[in-house]
Amino acid sequence: MRDDRFRATYLIETPLDPAKVAEVMAGEQSCGTFTRVEGETDALRERARAVVVSVEQRDEAGVPSLPNAWLTRREVPGPWHLARITLDFPVANVGANLPTLASVVAGNLFDLGEVTGLRLEAIELPAAYRRRFAMPAQGLAGTRRLAGVKDGVLVGSIIKPNVGLSAEDTAALVMRLCEAGLDFIKDDEISANPDHAPLAQRIPAVMAAVHRHRDRTGKNVMVAFNITDETDAMRRHADLVAREGGSCVMASLNWCGFSDIESLRRSTDLALHGHRNGYGALSRH
């Protein structure tokens, strides 16, 4: 793969010729649309169009996975072909822009009338493109240093909010977990800033317990506070964690979005724990 291209691989289902559908996909997500338009010169297509790298025919299905009004109107019959499609896209079309990168590889392709099923399976980014983005503030080495675990596994646990723990109850539970020898404690993804234990109360209470344990044992347990919210609120919560001597915050990647996470990354040196909840909705089909 060239440094000026990134690659995406898809599994598609279609009653049409998969090779022709692959060309539609490449045009739709780069310089083309449903038909060639004025200004779409050969030179422009050479510079900006995505290219089909491979079309790998797989199995056939007797019925489509999803209904498709576009194909029904045209009375297109089966069988429905499964194929793995690999496309290369010009980096210059996107730049260092994660939301636009996502919209290119996982945008309107899912709406194409030519397919009755489509799944993005993999993205490959050249090293030169990855270097245009900031690296993690802490990374693996920083996380181990902050958690005080030089080698081996980090042992952690999750605080579940199902019983409606108050800030004081949460701090007491954190103390028990610290005394049990854990290295890492994280909030559950469904509890960020609830009325019964707001972060403004929970963060100081929990960190006080962590500090008491540290003062007694020398062990500084890492706690990932779930600060999932809109951007300004997450920054405020991260600042509070830092002021209270914390080392880590957590956010729900799929619902905060790339822009929110990038803004948080630029505004704090805390370790960021990215939670993947919602991934099944994007991947199980």
Distances (CA, A) of 78 to 10, 85, 266: 20, 19, 51
Phi, psi (5° rounding) for residue 89? -115, 145
Give the three-state DSSP class for 208. Answer: helix
Q: What is the DSSP letter of 280?
A: H
pLDDT of residue 43: 64
Contact 227, 192 (CB under 8 A): yes
User: Check: CATH 3.90.45.10 for 5-130?
Assistant: no
CA 123 to chain centre: 12
Phi, psi (5° rounding) for residue 108? -70, -5
Of the candidates 121, 92, 111, the residue with the CA atom closest to the CA atom of residue 283: 121
The pTM of this model reads 0.85
End-to-end CA distance of the chain: 28
Residue ranges of the domains in the chain?
Answer: 5-130, 139-283
Q: What is the DSSP letter of 108?
A: G
What confidence tens digit (pLDDT) does each residue in 134-180 have? 888 999 999 999 999 999 999 999 998 777 899 999 999 999 999 99
What confidence tens digit (pLDDT) does each residue in 24-67 have? 999 888 876 555 666 666 666 666 788 999 999 999 988 999 89
CATH fold label, 139-283 = TIM Barrel (3.20.20)
Phi, psi (5° rounding) for residue 212? -65, -40
pLDDT of residue 135: 86
What confidence tens digit (pLDDT) does each residue in 96-126 have? 999 999 999 999 899 899 999 999 999 999 9
Contact 189, 218 (CB under 8 A): no
